[in-house]
A and B are shown apart, each in its own frame.
Chain A
């Protein structure tokens, strides 16, 4: 009950004119960016981060939250109409969305995706409303040692889940931490690893680094996708497709078909979103996999609305669920979460157990704005249906110079110096080279954002214990956390050894 009273108070923040405007702007931009194939929510949030500098922290993060959230909606558009998922969480949507569009019902597929996104997201936000402050209260019981272990779990889980080589995951995570340690020491404020450069004294600026690593690196990769994009567009008959809101309305029977998968995926997606390292993509895949175990009127993969609903409800619910550990514990569940966390820190907010106590108006304002954003995004997503073909007809090849310029202009605007542009440029090249060689950059971003927190907690734990490692094992909770961490660390290593042994045996 207390939570819902706080939520109502939060609505007074969310419904302030500037916050409604920011929310609407975030929803529109998120939809457009999400619909553009190849950009994705991570790059989208990074590219649009500079736009939020004009606002106060609450308005800024409301806009960013709406943007992240509406990205999930947008990703389904190109998945359904072009069979090109706008973002990875929409991969499963394409499996049924595109066949349904090919059957001459693109409007129905889009409406199913929109409704499922809305309802799944609402379930996610409801669970977030109920659990977030409780999670923060649990977080308040954590000391430096517990927080160190939780941060280690958060970092390792994402590194381990992304990519097939766990060693590469560790390398990239450690690199992110080292980049973050350039500048000032987190505890004493003493200069560190500045290598005599006055620029490095201030550390590696967050926004240009993120814009480079994900935005500019993405543009470099996009050049290879343009030929495939051209071929796909040439073979598409989507240009002839006529879309209207009227033709997209679902019948009562169709709505009854999609409701059970939405409810199932909404709940499962939220809990998956809460887990560090899983995120919306895992949520969507899990939702789709669960739906496969149930009956659907049309076989899954051939244009079943149940499949679209399961995938879309799960990814939006996961996107909402990811806010719980982000706000309550300061732990982002994904690369996009890391960008949001970095944004929060940039505006002087310290996400974590104390945030609900020190900035309740912000926390509840943000949560209630998610309800508002969800409604706005649904409305915009429905209204935009007739114009989708035009929006999606922008070829990838024309996006390349536009995004390059946005990266440069955005990087300059956040640092007001060419140093920011240089950092963006260099981190873009590094991000591209790493990605090309099988090192995913998402764990590096997560590590970059979490490193100062990890260092602070770890050093304070060692100061408190006067250097004894016992502080990490002296309570049952710490032992459980340590066990989880060790399992996360050792599982991929053991798996890799077993795989090699199996291969050797097969060869013999």
Chain B
């Protein structure tokens, strides 16, 4: 968890927003138009995309020419959180959402945080109470059961 990777993405964000702006600009002009006696569906997004394109270019220039710019540091732990959530989403298609969440909590607390069993059991009970008690019981949400649920049914 201590290892830190240096990767400066200061210029990447304006580059991506610039591409997004370009896509909206071109799609807007080609598919939705700008003006036909009155503003068409593309009118507003095209103006916004044009402003975004210009400001992204300025932002890109700023980040490329900035002196003493601080490097953005990404930690391994941050990717672990994203990976954990992605794991829940993928596992939901196999074993359902609630079991995926409970397994994720067990794995996270046991192997990442090295939490004692008392904490693990307490957190499992809290999440089960939130998911099943509040959402399923009270809000009547039917969570996906995945392939396993389908097989069992």
Binding site for B on A (CB under 8 A): 50-51, 53-54, 165, 167-168, 170-171, 174-175, 177-178, 181, 185, 187-188, 190, 192-193, 195, 216, 219-221, 223-224, 397-398, 400-402, 404-409, 412-413, 416, 418, 421-422, 425, 428-429, 432-434, 436-439, 454-455, 458-459, 462-463, 466-467
Contacts and interface: CB of A to CB of B under 8 A. Distances in A.
Contacts of B27: 193, 195
24 contacts: A174-B21, A181-B44, A187-B41, A190-B41, A192-B42, A193-B27, A195-B27, A401-B104, A405-B104, A407-B85, A408-B85, A408-B89, A409-B101, A409-B143, A416-B141, A421-B92, A429-B82, A433-B9, A433-B13, A437-B9, A437-B72, A454-B44, A459-B44, A466-B38
A406 B35 contact: no
A412 B143 CA distance: 8
B70 to A, nearest CB: 9
Given A178-B49, A437-B10, 9 more contacts: A165-B62, A170-B55, A216-B85, A220-B81, A404-B81, A408-B97, A436-B9, A437-B72, A466-B38
Nearest to B49: A178
Given A192-B41, A413-B135, A174 B51 contact: yes
Nearest to B106: A401
A455 to B, nearest CB: 4
A193 B109 CA distance: 42
A413 B139 contact: yes
A408 B59 CA distance: 33
Contact of B89 (A192, A421, A437, A466): A421
Contacts of A463: 38-39
Contacts of A193: 24, 27-28, 45
A74 B127 CA distance: 22
B29 interface: no
A404 B103 CA distance: 13
A187 B28 CA distance: 16
Most chain A CB atoms below 10 A, which of B81, B104, B119, B138: B81
B85 A192 contact: no
A400 B108 contact: yes
B89 A178 contact: no
B139 A178 contact: no
Contacts of B126: 402
Contacts of B17: 171, 174-175
Contact of B77 (A168, A185, A223, A433): A223
Contacts, number: 170
B85 A404 contact: yes
B44 A458 contact: yes
A422 B58 CA distance: 31
B78 A425 contact: no
Contacts of B52: 171, 174-175, 178
A473 to B, nearest CB: 18
Contact of A402 (B58, B82, B127): B127
Contacts of A51: 134, 139
A192 to B, nearest CB: 5
A185 to B, nearest CB: 4
Contacts of A221: 78
B117 interface: no
B16 to A, nearest CB: 9
A54 B135 contact: no
A167 B62 contact: yes
A348 to B, nearest CB: 19
B144 interface: yes
B24 A167 contact: no
A323 to B, nearest CB: 26
A55 to B, nearest CB: 10
Contacts of A192: 32, 41-42, 45
Interface string B115-153: 100010001001100110011001101111000000000
A405 B127 contact: yes
A369 to B, nearest CB: 21
Contacts of B64: none
Contacts of B80: 223
Given A178-B20, A425-B89, A436-B74, A404 B104 contact: yes
B105 interface: yes
Contact of B130 (A170, A409, A425, A462): A409
Given A174-B52, A223-B78, A223-B81, A422 B130 contact: no
A221 to B, nearest CB: 8
B35 A467 contact: yes
Nearest to A439: B13
B46 to A, nearest CB: 10
A413 B141 CA distance: 6
A168 B131 contact: no
A407 B88 CA distance: 11
Contacts of A400: 81, 108
A172 to B, nearest CB: 8
Contact of B119 (A216, A223, A398): A398
